[in-house]
Amino acid sequence: MELAEEKLDEHHLDKNEVVDVVVRFAGDSGDGMQLTGSNFTQATALYGNDLSTFPDFPAEIRAPVGATFGVSAFQIYFGAEDVTTAGDAVDVLVAMNPAALVTNIGNLVTGGLIIVDSGAFTAKNLSKAKYESHPLEDGSLAAYRILNIDIHKQVLAAVEPFGLSHKEALRCKNMWTLGLVMWLFDRDRSATIESLQTKFASKPAIADSNIAALNAGHIYGETADLPAGIHVYKVPKAKVSPGIYRNVTGTQALAWGLVAGSEMADIDLLFASYPITPASNLLHELTNLKEFRVNTFQAEDEIAAVCAAIGGSFAGSLGITSSAGPGIALKAEGIALAAASELPLIVVNTQRGGPSTGLPTKTEQSDYNMALFGRHGDTPIPVIAASTSIDCFDVAMEAVRIATKYMTPVMLLSDGYLANAAEPWKIPAVDSLPSFPVKHYDDPTEFKPSIRNEETLARVWAKPGTPGLEHRIGGIERSYDTGDISYDPDNHQKMTNLRKAKVDGIASDIPLQEVCYGNSSGRLAVVGWGSTFGAIHQAVKRAVAEGLDVSHIQVRYLAPMPSNLGELLANFDAVIVPEMNSGQFIRTIRSEFLICADGVNKVAGQPFKIGEILAAIHEKYQELD
Amino acid sequence: MNQALPTLTLKDFASDQEVRWCPGCGDYAILKTIQKLMPRLDTPKENQVFVSGIGCSSRFPYYMNTFGFHTIHGRAPAIATGVKLANPELDVWVITGDGDGFSIGGNHMMHVIRRNVDLNILLFNNEIYGLTKGQYSPTSQVGTRSPSSPTGSIDSPLSPCLVALGSGSTFISRSIDTEAKHLTEVVKRGHDHRGASFIEILQNCPIYNDGIFEQVKDKKIAPDFRVELSHGQPIIFGKESEKGITLNRDSLELEVVSVAGNEGKLLVHDETHKIQAQLLATMTGPDFPVAVGVIYREEKTSFVEDSQELVQKARIEKSSLKSLLHSGHTWEVK
């Protein structure tokens, strides 16, 4: 199916109370937009709205000032109802310079609010953004509300008492702007003040200046004579179940899920990785968690990383490696070694735009085929995918369980969007987490490395250092009976069958596929996997509210798939499969279940919008009628 | 820990697998030497781990009755690093060849050496690809005729010991497959060294590169073509120990001189002298003898020790999963 032309929602900033709002902070990569956004997120969570965020930054670390390709943005969607995406269209755009305005205006709703720093709208910056005339003066922004403030001037005045240099003083302009936006939505500044004090503990003048700027922005909102239609907006608190909450990004949740998995499995982790965007943050998180049973190793390359993880698993730890598409490609031979030698291994793929270097900071789901089929030989491995930032926690624990119970490599799919996006998380009670303790084999009586569990088909985990268990393993085919090298044709068939049966058998040890929203049979099922969850969920919810018979099914277990999935899909007249690739999972759906499914595909480096999925639902529904 | 280790012999370290190297291969001699050395090492048998890559030499772990992992081409140093990081108590050996260790796996070799991971690396250098049937390798001499270089190879070889030195190695040595006594002592010293011990073993391939090391192996002529280094001793060689090495301080080059008349000027081997190590590792025939023995060593903490220290430091204060999940900003919804 072709993606429908998107229609932006009408503005809703006329009212004093709004159900939900999308705010987008955009500026130079050096303007501190990510910090601004994360502080606003914190305050919004504390306020009690549900929220979802989307940090959208360029690959360039410090692009030339004012350049369009250097614009870094942070989008947050918050509201009184459940929020599962970072929002389709933007209600409030903060543009710190002309480049930020020109690259983000296209997504602003008619009647939306633009906050601009007129101090940055110099002739030079306008020309860098390729504006032929001054957009604040030529009437081209007439369809929007504009708050045009010389933030440069305001900030310099606010921080003047602290004696910073001109350059340092201007760095506080993001906090001034944050203060203003916090006023706009009635947010409490105390958490931001606290975090500034911690962040700049050793530089009190910087901390004080930033706090002064934050407060000054807020006061400006309270006292200045603002244009009509710009006022404080109330966003009612979301109804959420009681508990202790925190914000968490997918990367944090994944790291903590691995740590929790190690505790539940009662096993040490060896995390070996080579830096690559957007996967490196997982290494950064885990390297700071060595107080748990975690050690980390920054290897010399992707291959060394997977190999060190495999070595760790051979020695009795759980080896984990992590990368993005190009790096996972390099690890393929190692993954097959772990499969052949039947050692546990977790491979985390934080997918990004491809092929090759592709779009390193943008998101995509185009490594499904590689995860399932991208190995030499007949080498099945389990593959599971996280669907939201907080789901990364559960999926990481599940990867630990499957890898250790079945002595197999497990591929865990995340993506650039999930890794960086934050959402509020009701912190689970540690006592309620399922435990799955691992036992290394230690009985030397008639020991053979080929002894396996009859039920799971998992080989014994006999680690070096255990007396009487000395044995050799490797990549050469081994005898089913003895574990010694074997070139016997019948044995190779038997071992090939065994490797398949072992992975297939996991299907009986995972939950049956459930319908996340809607009925378990009906006219149309929207089937997704991974980070498309949020957009599909909202689109299906809206379609159901319109009276359509639509259900949402999100598949976590991609290999093996839940045993009832085929049966479940057969209950629907039609199936559509949205994916951020050109149609990968859908091939499996079609070939495994022999059903006619339609793909909804987007490969733009950006997550799906709710409206795009909804339009696809409408289109398919019309065909059915 | 003070329990006496049971007395083991060579046989305890021989696995039940049939050895499948070609008749006359230098690997047999190395295998026997290592099996014989094992009982002398102060490590319980179950703590010995042999990791290899791909190639003739990499079959080695199958023949050792210890823990063994025959892995993938060139990656043994990386896998061994993971093994050692996961369990620093283990005595980890890397068995590799000139193709495995310096062609496809050259990157890992360089990094495992620079990190000083506590491994015993045995490089079986036969200057040829054996298992793929005789193509030239990164240590083959220029002009080596092989199935992939019928008119003679055109690439210049690298010197494994010099690469190790350039990578910051803390233990570089060289020995010969059939010189059991010498090899035993060199490997023993490598084993006792803290950090990555790099041991190049000149190994004859009787099928594809037979006799390539004949000058340094043939008992009749070897005294003139190899010099056995001994720390603190003058560097002398020859059938009658009549030749020695001196350093020309103007050209910074080594020279072969007769011992007679040069007694006071002979270079004395200092294993801790890096510049001298480079000069000695570079020596090749026919003008110079090939140096065997411990060429260089340096005291330095190993990577695994440093890594363990970071882990221990982080674990001084007990942390709970609950406190991790609740760290930073949290809020309660009632």
List, run by run, the mean pLDDT of 10-residue segments along chain A (625 residues).
55 78 93 94 92 86 85 94 89 96 94 94 95 93 94 96 94 96 96 94 95 97 90 90 93 98 98 97 97 98 98 98 98 98 98 96 97 96 98 98 98 96 94 97 97 97 98 97 97 98 98 97 98 96 97 98 98 98 98 97 95 97 92
Measure CB to CB from residue A256 to each of B17, B69, B325 and give the nearest one: B325
- Which amino acid is it at B102? F
Q: Residue B316 domain-assigned?
A: no
| Residue A75 CA to its chain's centroid (Å) | 14
**A-chain residues near B111 (CB < 8 A):** 299-300, 304
What is the distance in angstroms between the CA of the first residue and the CA of the last residue of chain B? Answer: 56
CB contact under 8 A, A291 and B326: no
Helix (H), strand (E) at residue A412: strand A409-415
Cβ–Cβ contacts within 10 Å for residue B331, how many? 16
CA within 13 Å, CB half, A411? 35
Report how many domains make up chain B.
Answer: 1
Concatenated DSSP letters for A28-79?
ETTS-HHHHHHHHHHHHHHHT-EEEEEEE--S-SSPPTT-GGGEEEEEEEEE
Instruction: Compute the nearest-CA separation of A447 from chain B (Å).
Output: 13
**Residues B156, A332: Cα–Cα separation, whole Å:** 31
Please give the order of strands across the beta sheet that includes A108-117.
A50-56, A71-79, A20-28, A90-95, A108-117, A145-149
What is the pLDDT at residue A6?
47
Instruction: Compute the nearest-CA separation of A465 from chain B (Å).
Output: 5
Please give the order of strands across the beta sheet that includes A472-474.
A472-474, B67-70, B48-52, B91-97, B120-125, B197-202, B171-176, B290-297, B226-228
In B, minimum Cα distance to A302 occurs at: B78
- Candidates A530, A281, A539; CA nearest to A418 is A530
Task: Give me A29's structure tokens.
Answer: 């990569």
Q: Residue B264 domain-assigned?
A: no
> What does the radius of gyration of chain B's CA atoms come to, in whole angstroms?
23
A545 touches chain B (CB under 8 A): no
Q: Residue B257 domain-assigned?
A: no
Helix then strand count (H, E) for chain B reads 11, 12
**Residues B205, B136: Cα–Cα separation, whole Å:** 12
Burial of B6 (0-12, 13-18, 19+ CB in 10 A): exposed
A293 touches chain B (CB under 8 A): no
A384-407 per-residue burial string, b: 16 or more CB within 10 A, e: under 16:
bbbbbbbbbbbbbbbbbbbbbbbb
In A, minimum Cα distance to B81 occurs at: A308
Residues in chain B: 334
pLDDT tens-digit profile of B92-149? 999 999 999 999 999 999 999 999 999 999 999 999 999 999 999 999 999 999 999 9
Answer whether A586's CB lies under 8 Å from A596's CB.
no
> What does the radius of gyration of chain A's CA atoms come to, in whole angstroms?
26
Global pTM reads 0.94
**B-chain residues near A409 (CB < 8 A):** none
Output the CA–CA distances (angstroms, integers) from residue A243 to A28, A240, A281, in the order listed: 38, 9, 28
**A-chain residues near B96 (CB < 8 A):** none
- Three-state DSSP at A249 gives strand
- Which amino acid is it at B330? T
In B, minimum Cα distance to A442 occurs at: B46
Torsion of CA A443, A447, A451, A454, to 10 degrees: -50
In A, minimum Cα distance to B320 occurs at: A292
Q: Residue B4 domain-assigned?
A: no
In B, minimum Cα distance to A44 occurs at: B331
- Three-state DSSP at A348 gives strand
CB contact under 8 A, B325 and A430: yes
Q: Residue B319 domain-assigned?
A: no
**Residues B126, B105: Cα–Cα separation, whole Å:** 16
Measure CB to CB from residue A259 to each of B64, B84, B324 and give the nearest one: B324
A298 touches chain B (CB under 8 A): no
* Residue span of the structural domain in which B299 resides: 10-233+269-304
- Candidates A557, A565, A523; CA nearest to A540 is A523
A314 touches chain B (CB under 8 A): yes
B208-236 per-residue burial string, b: 16 or more CB within 10 A, e: under 16:
bbeebbebbbeeeebbbbbbbbeeeebbb
**Residues A124, B96: Cα–Cα separation, whole Å:** 61
Q: Residue B33 domain-assigned?
A: yes
What is the pLDDT at residue A64?
85
Task: Give me A576's structure tokens.
Answer: 């559509």
Q: C-alpha angle B11/B15/B16, rounded to 5°?
A: 105
Q: Residue B207 domain-assigned?
A: yes
Strand spans (E) along A145-192 = 145-149
CA within 13 Å, CB half, A288? 8
**Residues A429, A431: Cα–Cα separation, whole Å:** 5
**A-chain residues near B307 (CB < 8 A):** 295, 297
On whether ipTM exceeds 0.85, the answer is yes
Scanning A67-150, the segments in alpha helix (DSSP H) are 98-104, 123-128
- Candidates A427, A437, A341, A331; CA nearest to A374 is A331
A449 touches chain B (CB under 8 A): no
pLDDT in single tens digits along all 334 residues of chain B: 455 566 899 999 999 999 999 999 999 999 999 999 999 998 999 999 999 999 999 999 999 999 999 999 999 999 999 999 999 999 999 999 999 999 999 999 999 999 999 999 999 999 999 999 999 999 999 999 999 999 999 999 999 999 999 999 999 999 999 999 999 999 999 999 999 999 999 999 999 999 999 999 999 999 999 999 999 999 999 999 999 999 999 999 999 999 999 999 999 999 999 999 999 999 999 999 999 999 999 999 999 999 999 999 999 988 899 999 999 888 888 8
CB proximity under 8 Å: B 49-68 to A: 49, 51, 54, 61-62, 64-68
Q: Residue B137 domain-assigned?
A: yes
CB contact under 8 A, B83 and A290: no
Instruction: Compute the nearest-CA separation of B289 from chain A (Å).
Output: 36
CATH of the domain at B35: 3.40.50.970
In B, minimum Cα distance to A295 occurs at: B311
